[in-house]
Amino acid sequence: IGVGSRDLDERVGGLGMLAAIDALDADALTRTLVLISKPPAPRVAREVLERVRRSAKRTVVCFLGSEEPTLARTLTQAAETAIGRKLDHTPVALRKVHGAVRGLYCGGTLAAEAALILRDAGAPGECVDLGDDRYTRGRPHPMIEPELRNEHIVRAAADPAVGVLLFDVMLGYGAHADPAGVLIAALKGAQKPAIASVTGTEQDPQRWSLQVAALRAAGVHVTPSNAHAAMLAASVVS
């Protein structure tokens, strides 16, 4: 249930997430609740955590940036905790590069996760949420129309201060029919390493495996999750 990026800020007060918890708590087929959010307002986070403590369901929470020791630190850790196993991942090593990480994201929560990982690793760089209002006024969201991100990719690829490019690729109904293809077109001629994660499933119209294969064929380093992508990017410039 997507409650929206503003739901856990002070003005909204988590109304959507609290209603979703109530609904799923009452659903007999739901066994585990997984709550994820980019950094929430502290008061709202406390209210949501108090609500899940009263839930009869097993609950995994990832509020990015929270210092609460019982919370998952990344979306990957939240998913692994929820399913009870580690994500298969074979680490790769890329040659070191000069310059900073430039993360260009469609998903705000993924951008926030990547930024926190870069910060904790001491890696130079920034992650831009291109779905934010300041980029989408009068334009479709980049999940729907990725051309907005392409403009930023071309500039970042030509920027000598940028050492590595970092992306998310978002699949699903309502998203662009071939986001990998659009991204690949923008990367043509780029001389910098590109790292991406693909968020989706084989049941999505774009098919996760086809998108991953296309990106890898174009020389993009695809990791199992956004957290892995951010950690790989940090290792390249650190």
Residue-wise DSSP of 104-167: EES-HHHHHHHHHHHHHHT--EEEEETTSHHHHTTS--TTT-THHHHHHHHHHHH-TTEEEEEE
**pTM of the predicted model, to two decimals?**
0.81
Count, in order, helices (H) and strands (E) of the chain: 9, 7
Residue scoring higher pLDDT (84 or 162)? 162
Q: Domain ranges in the chain?
A: 15-83, 100-237
- Using CA atoms, how far apart are residues 78 and 214, in angstroms rounded to an integer? 28
User: In one letter, which amino acid is 1?
Assistant: I
pLDDT recorded at residue 68? 62
Task: pLDDT band for 70, please (50, 70, 90 cuts).
Answer: low
Q: How do 58-63 and 125-129 pair as beta strands?
A: unpaired
Q: Supply the pLDDT for residue 189.
A: 84
Average pLDDT over the chain reads: 91
Res 143: pLDDT: 92
Any idea which of 76-85, 182-191, 219-228 has the lowest mean pLDDT?
A: 76-85
Which pLDDT band, with edges at 50, 70 and 90, does 238 fall under? low
For the ranges 23-32, 89-98, 105-114, which has the lowest average pLDDT? 89-98
For 100-237, give the CATH class: alpha beta
